[in-house]
Amino acid sequence: MNFPRRTVLAALLAASLSPFATAADMKSVAVTAIVDHPALDAARKGVEDELKAAGFEAGKQIKYQYQSAQGNPATAAQIARKFIGDGPDVIVAIATPSAQAAVAGTRSIPVVFTAVTDPVAAKLVKSWKAGNGNVTGVSDMLKLSSQVDLISKVKPGAKRVGMVYSPGEVNSVIVAKELKAELAKRGMTLVEAPAARTVDVAPAAKSLIGKVDVIYTSTDNNVVSTYESLVGVAQQAKIPLVAADTDSVKRGATAALGQNYYDIGRQTGKLVVRILKGEKAAAIAPQVGEKLSLTLNQGAAQKQGVTLSPALLKEAKEIIK
């Protein structure tokens, strides 16, 4: 009865060791993401399109492979090892855990990260300057000065800005801290309303009524998951909502100057192309997504008691009625 078991084992071993083949002269790019979701998929599509535009079409001019860890960090680690073993010309790592797994495993293969908010805090790179060994990439961090510009354009003369966020999310905590400093520079103040759970978001927003002229929301997971409850409060109290992501505008925020992940992918693709053409990753400084798109919601603006200026409307890439 032991025979079939041995056959299975032998077959598995053979299958695991057989394909050693690699194309020698073709350049190769290996892309890995921690999970498939719309924003990360858009970033990947952007990388692929940029490569194609630069004359590196997958399967024709370059060997291209993509693997998703499907939310499982152990699989991300294994994918990183597979890629390092394959020895591609560039590894593109989408989101922090995938990037960390790749960077932990190699100091020779160039790693280009994307959709990572703070690569320095994640220790992917030592600094925002060039000279980070084999690692560079594009961050999706938002410049808060332009966010405050937008707040002032939506609600001219606004002095007090409210922010509902979850104290357990590191990105939100950082945004709140930096927003406070940025507002202080312009003689404005931040009124914080922490909401630890999604059910706390609406009460937290209500606590801001009468204390603020406008509410700003970051890409806080709690807030974004229950954006509608925030919109309800904003309409009742006639306080305009300014969001950090364009999707929230579709759900009822008045305005957002957000990053488009496809554009971040295109920008990342440009770095990949530079490396494929012979530049060293160390010579390229990590970048922040530079293309921001303004989305406005006129219906929401009206319900939240503001009129959007013609100048602002002209700037917008997309206007929702």
**Residues making contact with another protein (CB under 8 A):** 1, 5, 9, 12, 15-20, 36, 65-68, 70-75, 77-82, 84-87, 96-97, 100-101, 103-108, 121-124, 168-170
**Strand ranges, E, within the chain:** 27-33, 62-68, 90-94, 111-116, 135-139, 160-165, 189-194, 214-216, 241-243, 255-259, 287-288, 292-297, 318-320
What is the layout of strands, in order, in the sheet containing 90-94? 62-68, 27-33, 90-94, 111-116, 135-139, 287-288
Q: Which residues of 307-317 are buried (b: 16+ CB within 10 A; e: fewer)?
A: ebeeebeeebe
Tell me the C-alpha distance between 69 and 93, whole Å: 11
Output 55 or 73, the one with its CB closest to another protein: 73
Output 74 or 311, the one with its CB closest to another protein: 74
* Shortest separation between residue 99's beta carbon and another protein, angstroms: 9
* Shortest separation between residue 101's beta carbon and another protein, angstroms: 5
Tell me the C-alpha distance between 151 and 160, whole Å: 11
* Shortest separation between residue 52's beta carbon and another protein, angstroms: 20
Output 12 or 184, the one with its CB closest to another protein: 12
* Shortest separation between residue 257's beta carbon and another protein, angstroms: 25
* Shortest separation between residue 315's beta carbon and another protein, angstroms: 34
Output 96 or 304, the one with its CB closest to another protein: 96
Output 105 or 131, the one with its CB closest to another protein: 105
Tell me the C-alpha distance between 287 and 265, whole Å: 12
Among candidate residues 240, 233, 175, the one with its CA nearest the CA of residue 206: 233
Output 171 or 254, the one with its CB closest to another protein: 171
* Shortest separation between residue 136's beta carbon and another protein, angstroms: 15
Place of tokens 């992940």: 261
